[in-house]
Amino acid sequence: MEKSSLCLIFYGIALILLGLVGYLSNPKKAKTSLFSGSGMGIIAIILGFFSKLALALVLSLVLISLFSLMLLWRAVVSWRLVAAGNKSKLFVASLLSLMLLLSLFVLGYLYSVR
């Protein structure tokens, strides 16, 4: 299995786990964490299995870029709430930032191997 395949598969697993952590931190309000983390995680795993196809790598770069933009937007909103005194958003802001950093690392790696 290629390194890019393994990278996408591990990235997908990590997103699923982080989405689950976000959901378990507040099951009533954090369903989006579970859906977005698991959804993108499953897509990344599928793309990892098809990474030998040129289209899969391009699609991975596009989807992870879009996912990163969404994470950036949500993280900025959460950090602004934390800065305004809403300390209950600290965990969410940190989790979103961690997912964003992971996504940016994977993007950089995939871009370098393309």
| Matching residue, tokens 């958003």 | 89
Alpha-carbon distances of 89 from 25, 33, 94, 109, rounded to whole Å:
11, 13, 9, 30
pLDDT grade for 3, boundaries at 50, 70 and 90: confident
pTM to 2 decimals? Answer: 0.92
**Residue 74 clears pLDDT 70, i.e. is over it:** yes
Per domain, the residue ranges of the chain are 3-109
pLDDT, tens digit, 9 for 90 and up, residues 10-32? 999 999 999 999 889 887 877 88
**pLDDT (average), residues 21-49:** 89
pLDDT for the residue 51: 87
